[in-house]
Amino acid sequence: MRRNTIKYKIIIIMILVWTIKLYSIEGLGLFWLRGNFAKIVAKVVSESNEPVKGAIVVIPETGENVETNGKGVFVVQIPKQVKIHIEIYKEGYAPYITDFFRVRKRANIPLKYKLMSSIQETITVTATATGKKLLDIPVKTYVIPLEKIEEEKPVNLAEALKFTTGVKVENDCQNCNYTQVRLNGLEGKYTQLLIDGLPVISSLASVYGLEQIPSEMIQRIEIVKGGTSSLYGANAIGGVINLITKEPVENETVIRLQNESILGRAFLKVGFVSNYISKDKSAKALFYASYFNREAIDVNGDGYTNLGVLKDTSFGVNLFKSFDSIKGKLKIGFARIHEYRRGGDKLNKPPHESMIAEMARTNRVDTMMSWEQMIGDDILKLAFSYSHHERNSYYGAGKDSNAYGYSLNPMFIGVLHYYHKTDNHMFTIGASYRAEKLKDEAASYDRFIDDRYGNIGVMFQDDYQITKTIDFLYGVRVDKHSKVKKVITSPRVSLMVNLSKYLKTRTTISSGFRAPQVFDEDLHITILGGEGFIVRNDSNLREEKSYSITHSFDYYYSSSRSAFQFSIGGFYNRLMDTFVLEEGEGTDNSRVFIRRNGKGLKVYGLEFDIGIKKANLFEFDLGWTYQKSYFDEPEPEFNSEIPFKTPENYGFATLMINGLKFVNFMFTFEYNGKMKMPHYKGYIREDTLETTPSYYVLSATITKTITIDSNKFEVFGKIYNITNQYQKDIDKGALRDAGYIYGPSKPRTFIFGIKYKI
């Protein structure tokens, strides 16, 4: 009996010790009163509950000044009965300042402090090609930080782009799920996609590229809308999306497992990220890997996919080395992507034994190297990138054995920038060279492309701080494209005025162009009524040109406990010599459309967004866009003056609740208004211009973080599209129009996952 009693006492003591240890690790801290002093052990964390290392903790009344350790923990001693307060500072976060309190026996002292990200300290590079604080940039810039990306639990870049004002991601094919992103209503072909400031996404890569870039490599996403060819050259008409890749900040490894279920079919995602930093912090390495596998989904039970098979394996490594003696920094990157996707019917058979099959097997290798050199106070940046993209494909119908194709698309990019700063000016001069080869064979459609494209560009920019309240930016770029006879000039001017401490107004007038080469939609063949749909260029095709005007009023306020942001603005995009399609003479099994220059297109509208954040409680964001768009002359197919798939109203709302103990909730709402959309014959008798109904998507996520010793587990569950909003009038059978698709990207989807951090 005595032995059992001792045994139980030992077990109870062990449980108590473990509980105290667990709670101290969770950041609840320990609080001791001894003699005339109190000892506090507390933890500082970010909004995503990650420990904040190196935060400065100050108690002004006693002169105490300590720094948080690698686990975000600090220890201070405070005299009893003395009235004090605690201040916490860390670059990139708003200062945290507590109320005044006295230390007593039963004092209620918070022992976990959550810092809020400071918008004033966010550094961006896309709008000006220089590192500058977000609030100081004269060009309106949207930033999707890592915390927001991780809250959404995205599989790839396409899913990470949601919930940004004026940004709309859409699926344009039921067979292979070709995806594009629109900025303020302009098609994806008008958006320049960058990785670390380089336009490394080639013509071929842009077809499925949004889904091929894994979320594991993303640190943040920066978006600038409007013409930006003055910095980035061709294709930057609607704006740019710049993907900033991760750089290690501490030694850690993160493993993520995620499973999705749609109508009982599975989608498995495995992600891995490992960081290394040398002791002297001069060398860093990041390795990431991703694998996901989606089974085919047939929503309406007709035997043909609405979401095709998707298998993707990718990995990459980024190496960083600082040379302090010569003030230089080297970065080397390597990425490898292999993807297989297929849609249609009879997926267990070879493609040519199916009534419809769209199949693409992609192999892609990206390499890059950059060097940053300090020359006094000036900076020289040099970057090179080489991408090798190869694809074997099948786009065919009716068991066509000749519909196999092959594409090869190597591309080289070299960029040189030099930055010179004076008291009031930041001058940037630069040059870039891009060489791209495209070989594409599709015998069944009588399409053989073997072409080369080259572009040389030089640019100049001056960011002029006229006064403390007025910033004026102007710049120009000159390009010579191999497919354009004349030199192309792209100017830009921006003005920012600080109307008060918290209120700013920004105005930008900019330009863009798009050269007449083979584009992404050419390299994706949509099946229409059992026939192929291909596009060819008119022999006299000229570049598209544009200018845009944006104006906004932006209000920002933040303190240690709360933040508020409100922005309202207007935009106007004017496109000239726009590319339009006219149906030409087809072949036996394909409809051929000729791309020629039309008169133009204009898109204009209003947008606003609101953000409210209360530390340790909740965060609410709302974004809305109202727009109009018209062709100068009706398009030739349906005589429509309104561009297709461009709703007048669309927006989002998100609510993050983090005030509950150890559990976070996130609710999201997406809305898309009515829009015009072509519906081609095959399943239906005649080509028709439809007006699609509006739709919304409501989703919910719950996340719980568990820490044991130094290991952290994040368990999450999510329901996407709770009300199961999905297109009701999808075509059926072998003669369907695979491009007639709108609405949410997926029907109701159940998601469960776990993230393990070592």
Query: What residue type is assigned to position 678 of the chain?
Result: P
Distance between CA atoms of 492 and 33, rounded to whole angstroms?
A: 63
Residues in a beta bridge with 291 = 270, 313
Q: What is the pLDDT of residue 29?
A: 44
Q: Residue 751 in contact with residue 246, Cβ under 8 Å?
A: no
Task: Collapse the DSSP code of 207 into the 3-class scheme (helix H, G, I; strand E, B; otherwise coil) and give the result.
Answer: helix
Q: What is the pLDDT of residue 277?
A: 92
The answer on 533 and 514 residing in a single domain is yes
- Which among 240, 238, 229, 234 has a CA at the least distance from the CA of 490? 229
The answer on 693 and 556 residing in a single domain is yes
The answer on 661 and 616 residing in a single domain is yes
Query: pLDDT tens, 609-625?
Result: 999 988 778 899 999 99
> Where do we find the tokens 């000039």?
489
Percent over 70 (pLDDT), the chain: 90
Instruction: Indicate if the pLDDT at residue 254 is higher than 70.
Output: yes
> At 517, which helix (H) or strand (E)?
none
Domain with 372, as residue range(s), is 119-757
Instruction: Indicate if the pLDDT at residue 47 is higher than 60.
Output: yes
Distance between CA atoms of 572 and 594, rounded to whole angstroms?
A: 28
Residues in a beta bridge with 308 = none
Query: pLDDT tens, 397-412?
Result: 889 888 898 999 999 9
Q: How far is CA 713 from the centre of its chain?
A: 25
The answer on 12 and 158 residing in a single domain is no
* Count of alpha carbons within 13 angstroms of residue 72, beta-carbon side: 24
Instruction: Indicate if the pLDDT at residue 7 is higher than 70.
Output: no
Instruction: Indicate if the pLDDT at residue 168 is higher than 50.
Output: yes
pTM of the model: 0.87
DSSP collapsed to 3 states, 336-354: EEEEEEEEECCCCCCHHHC
Extract the tokens encoding 729. Answer: 């009038």
- Which among 73, 291, 152, 45 has a CA at the least distance from the CA of 699? 152
Least confident stretch, 353-357, 446-450, 685-689, 739-743: 446-450
CA Rg value for the chain: 28
Q: Residue 211 in contact with residue 312, Cβ under 8 Å?
A: yes
The answer on 284 and 199 residing in a single domain is yes
Boundary of a domain, candidates 67, 90, 114: 114
The answer on 202 and 94 residing in a single domain is no
Residues near 314 by Cβ (< 8 Å), separated by ≥ 6? 212, 214, 289, 290, 291, 335, 336, 337, 338, 339
Q: How far is CA 258 from the centre of its chain?
A: 19
Extract the tokens encoding 203. Answer: 């013509």
Q: What is the pLDDT of residue 620?
A: 94
The answer on 451 and 420 residing in a single domain is yes
Q: What is the pLDDT of residue 513?
A: 93
Residues near 484 by Cβ (< 8 Å), separated by ≥ 6? 515, 516, 542, 543
Boundary of a domain, candidates 70, 87, 114: 114
DSSP collapsed to 3 states, 98-162: CCCEECCCCCCCCCEEECCECHHHCEECCCCCCCEEHHHCCCCCEEECHHHHHHHCCCEHHHHCC
**Long-range pairs of 694-698 with CB within 8 A, sequence gap ≥ 24:** 694/647, 694/649, 695/671, 695/725, 695/742, 695/743, 695/744, 696/669, 696/670, 696/671, 696/672, 696/723, 696/725, 697/668, 697/669, 697/670, 697/721, 697/725, 697/744, 698/667, 698/668, 698/669, 698/722, 698/723
DSSP for 2-60, written as a single string: HHHHHHHHHHHHHHHHHHHHHHHHTT--EEEEETTEEEEEEEEE-TTS-B-TT-EEEET
Q: What is the pLDDT of residue 93?
A: 77
Extract the tokens encoding 463. Answer: 């960011």
Q: What is the pLDDT of residue 128?
A: 87
Residues 217, 223, 479, CA angle at the centre, nearest 5°? 100
* pLDDT classification of 649: cutoffs 50, 70, 90: very high
* pLDDT classification of 42: cutoffs 50, 70, 90: confident
Find the mean pLDDT for residues 66-95: 81
Find the mean pLDDT for residues 27-33: 47
Q: Residue 456 in contact with residue 487, Cβ under 8 Å?
A: no
Find the mean pLDDT for residues 681-685: 92
Q: What is the pLDDT of residue 45?
A: 83
Query: What residue type is assigned to position 755 of the chain?
Result: K
The answer on 641 and 495 residing in a single domain is yes
Least confident stretch, 42-56, 300-314, 454-468, 737-751: 42-56
Instruction: Indicate if the pLDDT at residue 508 is higher than 80.
Output: yes
Extract the tokens encoding 174. Answer: 């039921």
The answer on 151 and 40 residing in a single domain is no
CATH number at residue 164: 2.40.170.20
Q: What is the pLDDT of residue 28?
A: 40
Alpha-helix runs per DSSP H in 629-683? none
Least confident stretch, 52-66, 291-305, 398-412, 510-524: 510-524
* pLDDT classification of 23: cutoffs 50, 70, 90: very low
Distance between CA atoms of 151 and 245, rounded to whole angstroms?
A: 18
Find the mean pLDDT for residues 346-358: 93
Pairing of β 531-537 and β 526-528: antiparallel
Extract the tokens encoding 580. Answer: 């339009």
Pairing of β 218-225 and β 73-79: unpaired
Q: What is the pLDDT of residue 457?
A: 96
Boundary of a domain, candidates 55, 83, 114: 114
Q: What is the pLDDT of residue 11?
A: 57
Distance between CA atoms of 392 and 26, rounded to whole angstroms?
A: 51
The answer on 145 and 101 residing in a single domain is no
Least confident stretch, 19-33, 121-135, 290-304, 466-480: 19-33
The answer on 392 and 294 residing in a single domain is yes
Query: pLDDT tens, 435-489?
Result: 999 998 877 777 788 889 999 999 999 999 999 999 999 999 999 999 888 999 9
* Number of domains present in the structure of the chain: 2
- Which among 307, 339, 726, 344 has a CA at the least distance from the CA of 527? 344
Instruction: Indicate if the pLDDT at residue 3 is higher than 90.
Output: no
- Which among 655, 615, 668, 550 has a CA at the least distance from the CA of 138? 550
Percent over 90 (pLDDT), the chain: 56
Instruction: Indicate if the pLDDT at residue 716 is higher than 60.
Output: yes
**Average pLDDT of the chain, as a whole number:** 87
Distance between CA atoms of 131 and 464, rounded to whole angstroms?
A: 15
The answer on 671 and 642 residing in a single domain is yes
CATH number at residue 51: 2.60.40.1120
Instruction: Indicate if the pLDDT at residue 307 is higher than 90.
Output: yes
